[in-house]
Structure 1
Amino acid sequence: MAHKDIYIIRHGETDYNRRGIVQGSGVDADLNEMGRAQALAFFQAYQHVPFAKIYTSTLIRTYQTVEPFIELGIPFEKLAGLNEISWGIMEGKIPNTLADDYFRNLIENWSAGNTAMPTEQGESPEDVAARQRPAMAHILAQPDESPVLVAMHGRAMRILLSWLLNKPLARMDEFEHSNLCLYKLTYQTNSATFTLDIANDTAHLLAVNTF
């Protein structure tokens, strides 16, 4: 196989997303009604794609996002390496002024290149990238699996796209995302390089009632 097509999506909306509560890897929230509508809309738009395999994180919101595809009988696998960053002490909390300052300090440090700085009692972007690498190596090592669908999380997606596309982690916020957005990459097996084909696409959600 000369190349592998990789579709990467962020999970659908949860009540935690809607209420501004920090989830991270420590809060295993279900999709809400909007999230399930988003999942169905994505399925309706992409059910024609002959996915050979589906990969999700170990968190339920990613599984529920691709459940319509799994119900077709497409094989799937959960990989902990795809989990969201651990936000440490902030998980399960509603941001307030102190929390905003906390996050602002983190983002400013990360954007300045201090990507080894962890969240308090959580992970750094470099920690996340380190556990993503064997997960992606596993996905890429399956030569007969193309295209594949990968369901994951916002911050983890930004980190993944950065190192796959040879960008410093300090620039990860350049990869914008929203619930059930799509990024599509092509992996060239001969050169072991990735090209970005689609970025933060949400056209499939236009028919979803968003209020």
Structure 2
Amino acid sequence: MSVKKIYLIRHGQTDFNVRGIVQGSGVDSSLNETGRRQAARFHAAYAHLPFDKVYTSVLRRTHESVQGFLDRGLPHEAHPGLNEISWGVREGLRITPEEDAEYQGVLDQWAAGQTHARLLGGESPDEVAARQRPFIELLKSRPEEETVLVCMHGRAMRVLLCQLLNYPLQHMDSFEHRNLCLYRLHYSGSMFTVSSFLDVAHLQGE
């Protein structure tokens, strides 16, 4: 088969991002003005590519981040497997490692390899990985889709990259992200490789 090209992006900025409020899968926020500008710049930079399919999570901030492509009538599928991790009862709250010992404790557990850990009512990285696997198999099973655009969320993106590249989940923080960053991946039919990490050239001047 020909090499499948995957353009993997995180959604654009929301007001929750600016305020340091955890969104997760249970907060269906929209892009703010900066986020919409980021989406427009990404579209301007990559509108020339022949995307065969656009994949997003079911949350509106991913749809809005690729709206320019959807407005052109490109085929689109939304998958719950691409949703952000659930932070449970902490969603919608401002929590940071410096201010919240419980939150930091869970992050420390993940880094130590205890990727079954979760906040109350939330998901573990192991559970996120499990719900992503059907999407990964779908992606691999469609060789006719040679160039695809995938828009998702920061923590979930880290989990997905670990799975695609065979990294243990405890190393997910090795994959940095920011709003509307791009990872380019290739799938040869047997393995995934990354050709570009954390590309934000399209956001220059924002």
Same fold at TM > 0.5: yes
Residue 183 (structure 2) pairs with residue 196 (structure 1)? no
The 4+ residue runs of structure 1 with deviation greater than 4 A are 96-99
CA distance in structure 1 between the partners assigned to 2:50 and 2:205 by the alignment: 23
- Percent identity over paired residues: 53
Which residue does 1:161 correspond to in 2?
161
Which residue does 1:185 correspond to in 2?
185
Residue 35 (structure 2) pairs with residue 5 (structure 1)? no
Q: How far has the Cα of 1:107 moved from its partner?
A: 1.0
Which residue does 2:203 correspond to in 1?
205
Residue 119 (structure 2) pairs with residue 103 (structure 1)? no
TM-score under structure 1 normalisation? 0.95
1:24-173 to 2 correspondence within 5 Å? 24-95=24-95, 100-173=100-173
- Once the two structures are superposed, residues 26-45 of structure 1 have per-residue CA deviations (whole angstroms, 9 ceiling, x without a partner) of 00000000000000000001
1:117 to 1:97, Cα distance in 2 relative to 1, 3 A: closer
CA distance in structure 2 between the partners assigned to 1:42 and 1:74 by the alignment: 16
The aligned amino acid for 2:142 is: Q
CA distance in structure 1 between the partners assigned to 2:52 and 2:96 by the alignment: 43
CA distance in structure 1 between the partners assigned to 2:47 and 2:25 by the alignment: 28
The aligned amino acid for 2:202 is: H
Aligned residues: 206
TM-score under structure 2 normalisation? 0.97
Aligned-pair Cα RMSD in Å: 1.2
CA distance in structure 1 between the partners assigned to 2:7 and 2:154 by the alignment: 14
Q: For structure 1, list consecutive stretches of 5 or more residues without a partner in the other structure.
A: none
What SS does structure 2 have at the residue aligned with 1:114? coil
CA distance in structure 2 between the partners assigned to 1:132 and 1:171 by the alignment: 17
Q: How far has the Cα of 1:3 moved from its partner?
A: 1.7
CA distance in structure 1 between the partners assigned to 2:31 and 2:167 by the alignment: 31
